[in-house]
Amino acid sequence: MSNGAFIKIENLSFTYKDSEGEGKKALRGVDLEIEKESFVALLGHNGSGKSTLAKIISAILLPEEGRVVVDGMTVTDEDLSDEDILKLHKKVGMVFQNPDNQLVATVVEEDVAFGPENLGIEPEEIRRRVDDAMALMGISEYARHAPSKLSGGQKQRVAIAGLMAMEPQCMILDEATAMLDPRGRKEVMDTVLRLNREKGITVLHITHHMDEAALADRVVVIDDGRVLLDGTPGEVFSKVGLMQSVGLEVLPQTELLYELTQCGLPLPDHVTDAEECARVIFEYYQSQKKA
């Protein structure tokens, strides 16, 4: 059931200009809506426009055409005031690829407090938010530790805790798991899923990891600055040939079923779960034995 659009993107275009004024088109008339409390994965090869889109939503960049409305607030006006930016940061927060670039303090709890301090929150409220965010991220035991001594997954959880202490309604993850090992990726994704499902936080997750995208409610594929595909993980990953044609992998189980259907086997093509894939192949094998 729809909770309504939290982010509305209309006819969005953006061009990067070099020192000589030559342009590289990053976005070409993108139209997109992100529903409140949804979990949307954004896929695309390097240079497709994914991160540019995220930066425009966060008012880090301004588009040359189009507009973005976040929870009723237009964030693509050139005359946004400092007060407007603060309001936006209460609505949308961003976690980047390298946690080392986001950690600004020498002690974990001070780092988590940095965002709400900049929002002008009262000290007592900051203390509550920091304690709650660290507990939610499972990093309370590291409160007095130096962030530099933590693992990659722990650092990223500190970065997310700092974002959560600002109490945004939407979290944008821009390749936030790209530099982590499998254990660190799982830690971060488990946390993000919990925030989405238990706290109702809207999530826009930019990733190259198809197993992470499969956890989302919806997958959007960007190619050459345009929306190429938009649907459930099963719907998007079933377009194996199209995904591969734009340089993207698909889930191994989805690719296996695709190859089998290409050989003439009547198998479903919207399966993203490995166990479900094994089950449908086994059931087909059993039915053929009985025939």
**pLDDT, position 3:** 62
Query: How much is the pTM?
Result: 0.88
Q: What are the residue ranges spanned by the domains of the chain? A: 5-250, 251-291
Q: Which residue has the tokens 């940095």?
A: 114
Q: Domain 5-250's class?
A: alpha beta
How far, in Å, CA of 248 to CA of 221, rounded? 9
Cα–Cα distances (Å) from 85 to 42, 63, 79, 237, in that order, read: 24, 16, 11, 37
Give me the tens of pLDDT residue by residue for the chain, a chain 291 residues long: 356 789 999 999 999 987 776 788 999 999 999 999 999 999 999 889 999 999 999 999 999 999 999 999 999 988 888 888 888 988 999 988 888 888 889 999 999 999 899 888 899 999 999 999 999 888 999 999 999 999 888 898 899 899 889 888 999 999 888 878 888 888 888 888 988 999 899 999 999 999 999 999 999 999 999 999 999 999 999 999 999 999 998 899 999 999 999 998 898 888 899 999 999 999 988 888 876
How far, in Å, CA of 31 to CA of 227, rounded? 8
**pLDDT, position 44:** 94
- The distance in angstroms from the start CA to the end CA of the chain is 42
How far, in Å, CA of 129 to CA of 237, rounded? 39
Question: What residues contact 93, with CB distance under 8 A and at least 6 apart?
Answer: 115, 163, 166, 168, 170, 171, 172
> Per DSSP, what are the bridge partners of residue 94?
172
How far, in Å, CA of 168 to CA of 162, rounded? 11
How far, in Å, CA of 284 to CA of 289, rounded? 9
The dihedrals phi and psi of 87, each to the nearest 5 degrees, come to -60, -40
How far, in Å, CA of 60 to CA of 63, rounded? 10
> Per DSSP, what are the bridge partners of residue 23?
17
How far, in Å, CA of 253 to CA of 199, rounded? 31
Q: What is the DSSP letter of 197?
A: H
How far, in Å, CA of 173 to CA of 57, rounded? 12
How far, in Å, CA of 228 to CA of 52, rounded? 16
How far, in Å, CA of 158 to CA of 196, rounded? 17
